[in-house]
Structure 1
């Protein structure tokens, strides 16, 4: 994976959610390498059995690109939340992913696991790709999806959007990886300073922190 050295100050954390979660950045040399870098990243983390992953995009075009690139990966089950999705289908996707996170918690937090009832498919990681416009709406009664890994494929430009992604997509003890290209380093530092969240460089041995 192509990464640049970026100096990122680590201010004290200010809220319980971010104090338990861990935030990292993955610097990409050039924009044209971004999808390939995501492919490398998912090639590592996506092989962790049952890992609940959320990939956040800012635009529908990028969401479509991510989905077309990764829809056929054999070790990841992929779902998409987009604006013209039928309400019943959206509810089903959210419910299934919440079942995935519950199963992850049972195996990796409680330490119990039933025999695999549904075959090899249940050993795959599960990934939701979503734009900011389609994040779970907590105010309307939807539950957060609480993924263990949140990948900000497109870094939000505002702290409020970053925090909303966390609130709706990330488990309290989850991991955030921000993909950063070029001038986005300034945006990353601004989010870091305004939110009080420390964002460090992603370690090469990423599986050790998942």
Structure 2
């Protein structure tokens, strides 16, 4: 099994005055992991503030509100509003201009964002929708329904658990890559790797992953057929 761990204090912090963005990255100055096939970032926006419109092509972007209410607008004419338990899904196709905005004028907005690259030659139509998930404790729930991409298929799960609960995630294929991001809490992976809030873990060449919550925990698990995972340790 190949594995690596990114600790929370090794994330790259980008500040913009009205926003803070924490990138999970391999090297300072590089804001992606796995050669930019997938990017993970957690951001906060001050009350009433938002990002400038930005153009993305051939990517899927899943934005997960952790605290507050987000408004996502794009040049397809969509305006989506989401809060905890809801997820903004944007598949950009040949190109979509979009921006995010903090709907609150009283509190900061905190979100986790997952960006997954598609093949540039793939002719998928742009899509923007809200995915809703019933929050249930001690359960690993699938957010999406295995969207096909240039990486073939990927799946994203949300885990919420009380202290002492253990999960076993069976991978669809032995060579798939599984990535786990701890939103909050304290976990043990395969009874050996200890993760705390904001830590990231990934592995390949394994049939299953056992996740034991040593504290009340929330986490995101991503499985995708990524073939270039390099072995790294914390």
Quick check: which one's strand share is greater? 2
